[in-house]
Structure 1
């Protein structure tokens, strides 16, 4: 393993973990800062080898901006899906048409596929059941069409174009 590559991944983990520590330890104090830095450095020593897709380049402004743009998009999709599921559940006829559908992604990295799978699962009414290469198997409580092209456009499409801003 290249030592500069390892350092890059270690540094990424160190910064992210330290910031998470500070975010979860409010109100802020100097002791919390020191503890967060030590814990972040220690954990990053042992986990850096697992983060092959991350490094200092992950702090590129375009990637950070892409992530910051993605957060309100996923939150909006979650809110819309919650309303749709509430309407289905509260309807006396319970108009569900459950199905497991397949959809394809153009994302190549494992972390990108993980972000996409979690985004689908976080959205009420859909659940990522399995991923095989670039094919997702998604359980839906109500779907208009079960063909792969429609599923790819309607479920994966709304997330994938935004995910590409910060993952491969």
Structure 2
């Protein structure tokens, strides 16, 4: 793989923007140090990054992000309803979500998506060896129907991620 100085332009642009935001300034000195850091940090850390699958369907990715934002709003409303209701009606529990995804980046996005929707938290990836089928251990604030939750998470989040990254099962 050919390495260039500007191999990760989005990462570099993000670093520059964060640097300027942290200093609350776009002065020439801040911009100069920001550009140097934005070029130097990705170049120095290139050996630590593993190759990740490329996004194959950007339109689907945009739709996925909008769906997740909508789900966050809806989940907030549901959590408010559950928390303000009687505590005896809460049914917290753990769920093992069987995974078809195997690549680290889509798995990380799936776990992050689940954590972003209030009421669910990704606790652990089980087992930790990649040669066995993997499961994502989830904690659910109010577990109504485990089978329905698993089917919904797989259909709503995992399937689109498999399509976005063109992952094979």
- Please tell me the TM-score bracket, short chain as reference: 0.7 to 0.9
2:152 corresponds to 1:154: yes
Provide the C-alpha distance between the structure 2 equivalents of 1:66 and 1:146, rounded to a whole number of angstroms. Answer: 27
Q: CA deviation at 1:29?
A: 4.8
Structure-1-length-normalised TM-score: 0.76
Q: Judging changes above 3 Å, is the alpha-carbon distance between structure 1 residues 9 and 157 closer, same or farther for their aligned structure 2 residues?
A: farther
Structure 1 residue 116: deviation in Å?
A: 0.6
Moved more, 19-28 or 153-162: 19-28
Alpha-carbon contact 2:12-2:42 (below 8 Å) kept: no
Displacement of 1:158 after TM fit?
1.2
> Secondary structure at the residue paired with 1:53?
coil
Separation of aligned partners in 2, 1:89 and 1:166: 35
* Larger helix proportion of the pair: 1
Match of 1:43 among 41, 44, 64: 41
Q: If the length of structure 2 is used for normalisation, what is the TM-score?
A: 0.75
* Paired residues for 1:20-35 under 5 Å: 20-24=14-18, 25=20, 29=26, 31=28, 34-35=32-33
CA distance in 2 between partners of 1:146 and 1:101 (Å):
7
**Cα distance in 2 for residues equivalent to 1:115 and 1:30:** 35
Unpaired segments of 5 or more residues in structure 1?
none
Question: Structure 2 residue aligned with 1:78, among 61, 72, 77?
Answer: 72
Q: What is the aligned partner in structure 2 of residue 103 from structure 1?
A: 97
Residue 8 of structure 1, CA deviation: 6.9
Cα distance, 1:69 vs structure 2: 2.7
Is contact 1:116–1:156 with CA below 8 Å preserved after alignment?
no
Partner of 1:119: 113
Q: What is the SS of the residue equivalent to 2:96?
A: strand
- CA 102–33 in structure 1, closer or farther in 2 if over 3 Å, else same: same
Tell me the CA shift for residue 88 of structure 1. Answer: 0.4
Match of 1:11 in 2: 7
- Matched residue count: 156
Q: Summarize the alignment of residues 140-151 of structure 1 with structure 2, pairs less than 5 Å apart.
A: 140-147=140-147, 150-151=148-149
Shift of 1:74: 1.4
